[in-house]
Amino acid sequence: MTFRKIFILLLVIVLTAGCKSRQSDKGAVVPGSPSESKITGSFTISGAYALSSLVRMWTGDFMKTHPGIRIEVRVTGTGQGIADLVDKKVALGMISRPLTEEEKEAGIWVMPVARDGVALITNQKNPYTSRIMKQGLSPDEIQKVFTAEKPPRWGELLDTTGKENVVVYTRADESGAADMLAAFVFRKAADLKGNRVTGDDGMINSIRNNPFSLGFCNLSFAFSMPSGERAENIQIVPFDLDFDNLIGRIEMPFQNLEVAHRSIWLGIYPENLCRELTLGSLGKPTDPAVIEFLHYVLTNGQEIVKEAGLCELSNFYIRFARESLE
């Protein structure tokens, strides 16, 4: 075995263990962090739907032990969250995609807080479900569905006689999930066509209400919490990455959230549909209340990441994030 293969194997083991295990230093006191009893203030967080449930859980838990700090959370989508940062309307933005060069040049600073992916979904009662699960959809077929002026028929996608049109849903808000899916098929979010819905909840409800529907969501929303089982009437569509109209074992969608998380870290899920979820600010944070909250996110806050359906940071990411905050 070559040194390169050994290195990659060790890296995978470290990252996988970091996703499932509880870091031993999560509850540690961070040297130099402000004392809870002396900190007061208030600030606002806005942005990504992907992070909204977790951030609300974090802020509720944090404010119980920091009664002098008040935090407001607004769910607006990644793009609006970044715009709010640039306009100095909020202290932190919830961001679910990589920053553009323009956003970096504007001075946006980000800190990783969790990981997630983007899932292609249909209604489990879709009459073509068994064929969808057997064949999957290739990137070219996904591009056709979401960019064609007229939605294709299910028969065209699956090589059947089905005449029902695909009922396509996309996002109305500035969504990180839309950016990720569009990039996966070498397009921009503005190129995606379909019935526009706001947020992951709007997407899930729309897919549930139409058996011929096809859409996408942040991976965590395709599962029910706290059970971690697949959400009712939602089926994750497998990606036919090798274009052979046959889904192999490695391409099979995940039946529960634990397996999905493991697949993200092992690289089984398409890498360019997985990403870090981050909290960002305009420049490195200087407000003691904001800094104390971010320290909490990287310590005790990591204990509840899985409760929100997201994947925890590994020890490597925790160290990196702490160093960026110092």
Instruction: List, for residues 211-246, the tens digit of each pLDDT value.
Output: 999 999 999 999 998 899 999 999 999 999 889 989
Is residue 33 scored above 60 in pLDDT?
no
pLDDT (0 to 100) of residue 69: 97
Q: Global pTM?
A: 0.80
Higher per-residue pLDDT: 313 or 8: 313
Instruction: Mark whether 178 and 255 lie in a shared domain.
Output: yes
Instruction: Mark whether 185 and 127 lie in a shared domain.
Output: yes
Is residue 40 within 8 Å of 66, Cβ to Cβ? no
CA angle 116, 57, 79 (to 5 degrees): 50
Is residue 171 scored above 90 in pLDDT?
yes
pLDDT (0 to 100) of residue 299: 94
Instruction: Mark whether 152 and 265 lie in a shared domain.
Output: yes
Is residue 201 within 8 Å of 208, Cβ to Cβ? no
**What's the average model confidence in pLDDT over 254-267?**
84
Q: What is the mean pLDDT of the chain?
A: 87
14 — pLDDT class (breaks 50, 70, 90): very low
User: What are the pLDDT digits (tens) for 85-116?
Assistant: 999 999 999 999 999 999 999 999 999 999 99
Instruction: Mark whether 208 and 296 lie in a shared domain.
Output: no
207 Cβ contact partners less than 8 Å away, ≥ 6 residues apart: 121, 122, 123, 169, 213, 214, 215, 233, 234
Domain boundary among 257, 273, 289: 273
Q: Residue type for 207, please?
A: I
- When divided into structural domains, the chain yields a total of 2
Is residue 9 scored above 50 in pLDDT?
no
72 Cβ contact partners less than 8 Å away, ≥ 6 residues apart: 42, 43, 44, 45
Is residue 11 scored above 50 in pLDDT?
no
Instruction: Mark whether 239 and 313 lie in a shared domain.
Output: no
**What's the average model confidence in pLDDT over 256-268?**
85
258 Cβ contact partners less than 8 Å away, ≥ 6 residues apart: 228
Q: Supply the range of the domain harboring residue 202.
A: 122-273
Domain of residue 75, CATH code: 3.40.190.10
Phi, psi dihedral angles at 123 (to 5 degrees) = -75, 130
Instruction: Mark whether 251 and 130 lie in a shared domain.
Output: yes
Instruction: Mark whether 267 and 129 lie in a shared domain.
Output: yes
| 81/101 Cα distance (integer angstroms) | 16
| 191/181 Cα distance (integer angstroms) | 11
